[in-house]
Amino acid sequence: MTSNVQRFLNGMSVVEDRGAREASMMLVTGDPGYGKTATVISWAVQHGAVYLRAKASYTPFWLLSELVSELKGRPARNSEDLSKQVVISLMREPRAIIIDEVEHTFRDLKVLETIRDLVDLVAMPMVLVGTDQVQNRVARYAQFSSRIASVVQFRPASVADVRICCDHKCEVPVADDLVEEIHRQSGGRIREVMNAIAVVERQGKARTGAAAHKPVSLSDMAGRALTHDWQAKRPRIVRGEGLRSEATQ
């Protein structure tokens, strides 16, 4: 289990053990690529939670319609009836709700009010996921922020986190020096870590003979692109054991 996943689970425990009934929300923040979405989707699947991805043009009607559909209902034609459908469904079968890309909901205060109403009426756990800037926006609305029991910030993955990812996601063993290189190149962004693991896996599966049973090392990846440098607009080429990887000229 990576450190970000552990922080997320700790945050959920805080929400479940909260004092005020209506303080049932958790805010998950972090830069893109740190694994927020993958973590909450995995948790949603395991716990039967409802996962929604907010849209740039979200309205209360759109939000409630998606909720009713995810709860296996037939959406009504107006927001009032939709709200009743959601409340009745969640009272019959309580389920946590996750709203990803939550920064989009701040474009329309009516959407925020709809979320707050649902929390007050049903008091089910609601996880709001967004960038670090979302916390500043939430702070402007005391009636909203006071309902957040826990704030979890996703941080760059550590070398140990990258090792966990390699052990659990890569179908070939990965040597420590290559784990460190993946960590360095990715900057701790899980999305880039997973892309690098896919490259390593292809290389490992292509090996034959005795080498096929050994961990893929930094020297095995020498001369190959492991990740992409988007700022420099070119791939990063692994130069070999003991040498830093460089972008192609």
Question: Do 139 and 170 fall into the same domain?
Answer: no
Domain hosting residue 117, numbered range:
3-153
Question: Do 95 and 165 fall into the same domain?
Answer: no
Question: Do 118 and 225 fall into the same domain?
Answer: no
pTM over 0.85: yes
Question: Do 70 and 149 fall into the same domain?
Answer: yes
pLDDT for res 153: 97
Question: Which of 117, 137, 153 is at the close of a domain?
Answer: 153
Cβ atoms of 58 and 107 within 8 Å: the answer is: yes
Question: Which of 153, 182, 208 is at the close of a domain?
Answer: 153
- Residue 129: which of 98, 150, 93 has the closest Cα? 98
Q: Tokens standing for 87?
A: 């409340």
Note the pLDDT tens digit of each residue in 83-113. Answer: 999 999 999 999 999 999 999 999 999 999 9
Question: Do 148 and 166 fall into the same domain?
Answer: no
CATH number at residue 12: 3.40.50.300
The pLDDT of residue 246 is above 70: no
Question: Do 95 and 62 fall into the same domain?
Answer: yes
Question: Do 146 and 42 fall into the same domain?
Answer: yes
- In the structure, what pLDDT confidence band is assigned to residue 241 with cuts at 50, 70 and 90? low
**How confident is the prediction for the chain on average, in pLDDT?**
93
- In the structure, what pLDDT confidence band is assigned to residue 243 with cuts at 50, 70 and 90? very low
Question: Which of 92, 120, 153 is at the close of a domain?
Answer: 153
**How many folded domains does the chain comprise?**
2
Question: Do 124 and 213 fall into the same domain?
Answer: no
Question: Do 184 and 113 fall into the same domain?
Answer: no
> pLDDT exceeding 90 applies to what percent of the chain?
90
Question: Do 43 and 133 fall into the same domain?
Answer: yes
Question: Do 173 and 229 fall into the same domain?
Answer: yes
DSSP the chain: --HHHHHHHHHHHHHHT-SSTT--EEEEE--TTSSHHHHHHHHHHHHT-EEEE--TT--HHHHHHHHHHHTT----SSHHHHHHHHHHHHHHS---EEEESGGGGGG-HHHHHHHHHHHHHH---EEEEE-THHHHHHTT-HHHHTTEEEEEE--PPPHHHHHHHHHHH-SS-B-HHHHHHHHHHHTT-HHHHHHHHHHHHHHHHH--GGGGGSPB-TGGGTTSEEEEETTTTEEEEP--TTS--EE--
pLDDT for res 248: 42
Parallel, antiparallel or unpaired: strands 234-237 and 225-229 = antiparallel
> pLDDT exceeding 70 applies to what percent of the chain?
96
Question: Do 8 and 122 fall into the same domain?
Answer: yes
Note the pLDDT tens digit of each residue in 207-228. Answer: 888 888 899 999 999 999 999 9
- CA separation for the pair 245, 73 (Å, rounded): 53
pLDDT for res 242: 46
